[in-house]
């Protein structure tokens, strides 16, 4: 795994930062940094704080006695939710996914939604992280 640790502190904390339980933190960190393109800002035993553009993210090693678990963790984790992340450049993560042969949940596509009379067009690609959480990268 290459060193993707940031030596520049975050200048602003996001108002909402998902913290996902993961079954294998070193493996998830490798995928999130090397394949998805996140930057590692803080790590301590069993925990990591990452960012990608303005997205901020936490990963925590799951274990049975974890006080915050609301129920048993069964794959795929995060059933019923997807995390939409606006990234600075959709082509870079998409190219990394393809180069690594990482399975796509939904291929790169263009979608348009309408807010009032204003159309908004976005490009997006969806993947599942190593534990099955659904991630939607878009710009």
pLDDT, tens digit (0-9, with 9 covering 90-100), for 4-14: 555 455 678 88
**Superfamily designation of domain 19-64+75-138:** 2,3-Dihydroxybiphenyl 1,2-Dioxygenase, domain 1 (3.10.180.10)
Give the residue from 45, 44, 48 showing the smallest Cα distance to 17.
48
Domain boundaries defined on the chain = 19-64+75-138
pLDDT in tens, 29-60: 999 999 999 999 999 999 999 999 889 999 99
The answer to whether residues 38 and 4 touch, using CB atoms and an 8 Å cutoff, is yes
Q: How many beta carbons lie within 10 A of that of residue 119, not counting itself?
A: 9
Residue 3 pLDDT: 54
- pLDDT band of residue 1 (cuts 50, 70, 90) is very low
Residue 4, pLDDT score: 55
Tens of pLDDT, residue by residue over 81-131, are: 999 999 989 999 999 999 999 999 999 999 999 999 999 999 999 999 999
pLDDT at 131: 96
Q: Nearest Cα to 75, choosing from 4, 19, 133? A: 133
Q: What does DSSP say about strands 82-86 and 55-61: parallel, antiparallel, or unpaired?
A: unpaired
Lowest mean pLDDT: which of 17-21, 50-54, 71-75? 71-75
- Give the pLDDT score at 13: 86
pTM of the shown model: 0.87
> So what's the pLDDT on residue 25?
97
Task: Tell me what pLDDT residue 127 has.
Answer: 97
User: Please, is 65 exposed, middle or buried when counting C-beta atoms within 10 Å of its C-beta (0-12, 13-18, 19+)?
Assistant: exposed
Closest CA to 109 of 139, 88, 79, 72: 139
With a CB cutoff of 8 Å and minimum separation 6, the contacts of 100 are 34, 35
Whole-number Å distance between alpha carbons of 30 and 67: 26
């Amino acid at each position: 795994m290459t060193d993707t640790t940031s030596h520049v502190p975050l200048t602003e904390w996001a108002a909402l930062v998902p913290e996902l339980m993961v079954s294998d933190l070193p493996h998830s960190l490798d995928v999130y940094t090397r394949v998805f393109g996140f930057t590692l800002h803080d790590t301590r035993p069993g925990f990591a704080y990452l960012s990608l553009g303005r997205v901020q993210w936490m990963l925590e090693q799951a274990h049975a006695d974890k006080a915050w678990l609301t129920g048993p963790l069964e794959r795929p984790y995060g059933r019923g939710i997807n995390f939409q992340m606006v990234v600075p450049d959709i082509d870079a993560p998409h190219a990394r996914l393809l180069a690594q042969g990482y399975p796509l949940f939904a291929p790169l596509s263009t979608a348009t939604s309408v807010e009032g009379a204003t159309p908004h067009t976005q490009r997006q690609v969806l993947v599942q992280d190593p534990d099955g959480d659904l991630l939607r990268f878009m710009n």
